[in-house]
Amino acid sequence: MAKPKDTKLSLNDFGKPCDRLAHMNPENLMPMSRPLDCREPEWSPLKEETKEKYMASLDDTLVLNIPRPQSKREEQELVRKFLSGVEKLFQKNNNWTFLQPLVSTVEHCAKCQTCSDSCHIYESSGKHDMYRPTYRSEIFRRIYQDYIHPSGRYHKTWKNGGEIKLSWLTVARLGELSYRCNICRRCAQSCPIGADNSVVAREIRKVFSQELGIHTVELHDNGSMLQLKVGYSTGMNPEIVKDNIEFIDEDMSEKTGMKLETPWDKKGADILLIHNAGEIMAWPENIGAFTAIFQSAGLNWTMSSEALGYDNINYGLFYDDVQFARVVIKHFQCAQKLGVRKIVFGECGHATKAAMIIADRILTGDLNIPRESCFPLLKQLVEGGSLKLDPSSNNFPVTLHDPCNLVRLMGIVQPQRDVIKKICPKFREMTPHGVNNYCCGGGSGFAIHSGHNFEEWRFKISGRKKLSQILNAFSDCIEPETKKYVCAPCSNCKGQIRDILGHYNLWNDAGITYGGLVELIVNAMTDVKPNYIDWDEII
């Protein structure tokens, strides 16, 4: 079947001055199943003042907010700094962190488009050319080959297929386009050569952050900077966090009938538990469930009240290696001070990967403290008999979302399944699942981005495939009378799934809600009050 004309976009058009380079026509979006088998509404337009202030001509939305240059000099300065940053990406001193993954991709991607069909964003958009994993990489590659690589100037057309017109608009659009990728690396998984076009998206973000000082407010100013300053990216300092957790303990004690008490700053504890502190505000029942489980199992554990020690978030993972390293070092310094045997990370995919995989070649000596995901431990507790469980309490359809960071990128696939199969008699898998899963659409920090109309993009495009998987998993019981649960054991994914279900009104129209893994465990515990998952509380 021929592609609709409005899903085509030539590489040579990327720098073309126009009001909007690409429009994701709702008619072309990937069809959904019942009850969402109807046409999507048009996009909410960006405000005129937004378009005047920022480069907003990529597609229907905006997230990076690159100010429009006010003079020719500013335009040239943007291009100059960008090229300077790209050059640094290929220098071992500046970019030892990702040099080999980047160079191997830039030099050897065959542009065979095998990766395109693996990308949920490309598929959901109705296969718009601009959202191919190779599209942004090819623009980047041609800029590098033409303007940085020593031999580029001699064979632009021969080797690169034509010169990319390098202007401030090309640069700014490329920066914005780097935020149309969830960096879930599903594309890399399908690449026969082992190229990784998602790493190019991340490296472009790095150029903007590390060289030009341009980043999204959510990831940088209100994210890693605030976290380094105060201790937590919402701005809550240690005292406020302790107060909140105390309140959660009281609330959840009432809910479970247990006397819950979070231990703080216990020197020499076996386990330092670090949550994604976003749970404190958004999902206190997740925090309470961990406390109930750890307390019931008699674990020797603690939380840290030191700044950053109670919040495992590390947004640097998505856009900036230096910010990443700064945050991760602080996390481990907190653990070091307490002298714990190991760190266990709560239900947060990016934070677990950041600390266990990415930081593995940054931390040495005393800072190289043993750490693990909570899933193997939860499996041990559930299977080892430390908890008294009655699966019939979870006698409703449950499906499991695989957070990319934990599953495809860490290989933690089975423990959470073993738990869920033990306590949820009506469990069913999504298709596909495990390491072949699809991203929730909130990956690489998108779940916390809602400015302008970006939320719509998260719903219509990046979250579309996951939502389709959820609806398909429950297709045999899609009527709202049957209450259903999407287990999303990752804070970022949970936020995205909450937002999509809410946007499409799927609690009312299909009876679908969401939550973490520990909530299901506590809901099945026989020595706590029933109905930890309270369907009546869901709005």
Task: Enumerate residues 34-73 that contact other proteins by CB under 8 A.
Answer: none
Phi, psi of 132 (to 5 degrees): -65, 140
Stretch of residues binding other proteins (CB under 8 A), selected from 32-40, 79-87, 239-247, 275-283: 79-87
What's the chain's length in residues? 539
Q: Which of 57, 209, 291, 462 binds other proteins (CB under 8 A)?
A: 209
Residue 520 is a binding residue for other proteins (CB under 8 A)? no
8/388 with CB nearer other proteins: 8
Give every CB contact of residue 439 below 8 A, 6+ residues apart in sequence: 120, 182, 184, 186, 404, 462, 465, 466
Q: Is 81 in the site for other proteins (CB under 8 A)?
A: yes
**Residue 286 belongs to what H/E stretch?**
helix 284-296
299: nearest Cα among 274, 271, 257, 275: 271
Say whether residue 380 binds other proteins (CB under 8 A): yes
Task: Note whether 430 binds other proteins by CB under 8 A.
Answer: no
Angle, vertex CA 159, rays to CA 153 and CA 165, nearest 5: 55
Coil, helix or strand at residue 371: strand
Among 356, 389, 473, 517, binds other proteins (CB under 8 A): 356
SS3 70: coil
Cβ neighbours around 6 below 10 Å, total: 14
184 vs 260, beta carbon nearer other proteins: 184
- Among the candidate windows 88-96, 232-240, 307-315, 486-494, which touches other proteins by CB under 8 A? 88-96
The strand order across the sheet containing 427-428 reads 427-428, 398-400, 484-487, 512-515
Nearer to other proteins, 312 or 393 (CB): 312
The owner of tokens 């930081």 is: 359
Shortest distance, CB of residue 258 to other proteins, whole angstroms?
24
State the Cα–Cα distance between residues 9 and 131, nearest whole angstrom.
10
- The residue among 209 and 491 lying less far from other proteins, judged by its C-beta, is 209
> For other proteins, which stretch binds (CB under 8 A), given 47-55, 377-385, 463-471, 527-535?
377-385
For other proteins, the binding residue among 36, 240, 413, 538 (CB under 8 A) is: 413
Q: Considering only residues 98-157, where is the footprint of other proteins by CB under 8 A?
A: 98-101, 103-104, 107-108, 110-114, 116-118, 129, 134, 138, 155, 157
Which C-beta is closer to other proteins: that of 77 or that of 251?
77
CB within 8 Å of 385: residues ≥ 6 apart:
none
Which residues ranging from 322 to 351 are in contact with other proteins (CB under 8 A)? 322-323, 325-326, 329, 342
How many Å apart are CA 270 and CA 302, to the nearest integer? 8
> How buried is 166 (Cβ within 10 angstroms: 0-12 exposed, 13-18 middle, 19+ buried)?
middle
Smallest gap from Cβ 311 to other proteins, in A, equals 17
Closer to other proteins by Cβ: residue 163 or 265? 163
> Between 202 and 484, whose beta carbon lies closer to other proteins?
202
Interface of this chain with other proteins, residues 213 to 232, rule: CB under 8 A: 213, 220, 225, 228-229
Q: Can residue 212 be called a binding residue for other proteins (CB under 8 A)?
A: yes
Total site size for other proteins, rule CB under 8 A: 96
Near other proteins by CB under 8 A: residue from 358, 420, 430, 525: 358
The distance of closest approach from Cβ of residue 429 to other proteins in the complex, given in angstroms and rounded to an integer, is 12
CA distances (Å), origin 324, targets 18, 62, 331, 478? 36, 24, 11, 42
- 484-487 and 427-428 beta bridge pairing: unpaired
Q: How far is residue 292's CA from residue 518's CA, in Å, rounded to a whole number?
A: 9
